[in-house]
Structure 1
Amino acid sequence: MKALIFATLIILTNAAASANPNEWVKKADDIRNPADSFEMQIKVETSENTSVFQVYLQGQDKTLIVTKEPARDKGRNMLMLDRDFNAYVPNLKRSMRLSLAQKLSGQVANGDISRTRWYGDYEATKIGETQDEVQLFLKGTKDNLTYAAINLWLKKGNFQPIRAEYLGLNGKTVLKRAFFEDYKNIAGAVRPTTLRIEDTNKQVSHIRILKMGKKDYPSSFFTVRNMESMK
């Protein structure tokens, strides 16, 4: 009898977890990110220019971004610690504090490449579904996030992110739309390798993942000094 009760509790617990929108968001994060610590090389294509960055990420709150191309921008590196974002300007020989929401290039914000996880930053609520998709509303639970709120569509069954609307402070105004595209087997799983970002004027930018893999870092890696010295 006790074994039956225990088994029933496990089934009910698993069912509750599977119906929890926050757990769906976590699964979507796991699809986009291969591990707690990883490295990726990305290309950002906008109407203004094309840039290549080496991005080192650890957990939710540590990201070091090293500019590789174009050559004129080498040394313009960026560091995120929690929600503090700093950029090093070589010709000024000093770092400047920026916001995650501030424009990096084209329609791409700093936070679009430095703070890649939603779980823990947002509270998710299911607001709709179709035969193939489920729609969530993500409300920010912290200050100084890249976006105050997000409408997010996930594929039913596997929770792959399909598209998103990035919203303003009122939680209603659409600032930009994002589309998760070019799913490929990379870093041990099928993941979107292109993020297409479109603003309300239909101007489009792309973030393309060129390489991605798991990597561990020493505790001294994510520092302002390291950001300023890396090439």
Structure 2
Amino acid sequence: MNKMWMAAWALLAGLAQAAPDAQTILANSDAVRNPGKSFGLIVSLVGYKDGKENERSALAVYSRADPNNGQFRSLLRFVNPARDAGKLMLKNGNDLWFYDPASKASVPISPQQRLLGQASNGDVVTVNLALDYRAALAGEEDILDGDRQARHCYKLRLTARNAGVTYHAIELWVDTAGYRSRKARFYAESGGLLKTAYYRAYQQVLGQERPTETVIIDGLNPKWVTVLRNSDFAWREVPEAWLQRDYLPRFRAE
């Protein structure tokens, strides 16, 4: 009997040791979503209310990781609509600025501020969540993804490390096999649900299967939906100068 208990205890200890660390799961999910070196892409946003399109926008995004901390720094150029073409948004650390060529002024903005529909400024910049959030493993769950397909996932609860991030808390569902993000819920500091997102349309881009579409559903009205589509991925050099606030008036699209 003692040998049986010892064998059972050894088995449980082995399983406990093999259990994945929540922060590691989160970092692995970041690696699936984000390329490992500087890149560019186009983000198209379409907003819907009650099933009807009501607004549309597109931005060119240029991102590179900070060699000091691994967090991405990004320059975003508005492509359309025509009234916004040429406007810029810069993320450097937790600082975010908006530049309008008409006024030639760059002003600080909040990552929580609405960009289009249910998408905030912080939703369109490249982010390593593992650097901004502490993760706790809440268990494993079977969920339906954005295509109504069953997925077995780790459920993570993320809490912000500082006040400068886009969301106070996040629940994130990540595939147990492959670490693909499938679903997320974003919460305000009050605890209220702000939005739910589904990551889908995984495609082979820049050396990895990555989500190319995010569907964001308003936390109060599920009939308000915004779809983000990523396209035109490319490895590219992002000059250090582009990521400086003082350079924004001199930036010219290539």
Q: Could you say which residue in structure 1 is the equivalent of 2:62? A: 56
Question: d(CA) in 2 for partners of 1:115 and 1:186?
Answer: 15
Amino acid in the other structure paired with 1:99: S
Shift of 1:115: 4.1
Contact 1:137 1:151 in 2 (8 A): yes
Partner-residue secondary structure (3-state), 1:46: strand
Q: Could you say which residue in structure 2 is the equivalent of 1:164? A: 184
Identify which of 219, 223, 230 aligns with 1:209. Answer: 230
Partner-residue secondary structure (3-state), 1:22: helix
* Alignment partner of 1:70 is 2:81: yes
Question: d(CA) in 2 for partners of 1:90 and 1:213?
Answer: 26
Q: Could you say which residue in structure 2 is the equivalent of 1:187? A: 206
Calculate the TM-score normalised by the size of structure 2.
Answer: 0.80
Q: Could you say which residue in structure 2 is the equivalent of 1:34? A: 35
Question: d(CA) in 2 for partners of 1:176 and 1:62?
Answer: 24
Shift of 1:116: 2.5
Percent identity, aligned pairs only?
28
Aligned positions of 1:70-149 closer than 5 A:
70-130=81-141, 132-149=152-169
Question: d(CA) in 2 for partners of 1:33 and 1:96?
Answer: 27
Contact 1:195 1:208 in 2 (8 A): yes
Shift of 1:21: 0.7
Shift of 1:210: 1.1
Calculate the TM-score normalised by the size of structure 1.
Answer: 0.87
Please list every run of 5 or more consecutive structure 2 residues that lacks an aligned counterpart in the other structure.
1-12, 49-53, 66-70, 143-151
* Matched positions, count: 217
Please list every run of 5 or more consecutive structure 1 residues that lacks an aligned counterpart in the other structure.
1-11
Amino acid in the other structure paired with 1:164: A
Q: Could you say which residue in structure 2 is the equivalent of 1:222? A: 243
- CA offsets, 1:107-140, max 9 Å, x none? 1000001142201100100112135111110001
Shift of 1:216: 2.8
Greater Cα radius of gyration, structure 1 or 2: 2
Shift of 1:185: 1.1
Question: d(CA) in 1 for partners of 2:17 and 2:88?
Answer: 43
Contact 1:107 1:205 in 2 (8 A): yes
Partner-residue secondary structure (3-state), 1:120: helix
Contact 2:110 2:121 in 1 (8 A): yes
Q: Could you say which residue in structure 1 is the equivalent of 2:194? A: 175
Partner-residue secondary structure (3-state), 1:220: helix
Shift of 1:91: 2.6
- CA offsets, 1:156-200, max 9 Å, x none? 121110000001114x32110000011111111111100111102
Question: d(CA) in 2 for partners of 1:73 and 1:26?
Answer: 35
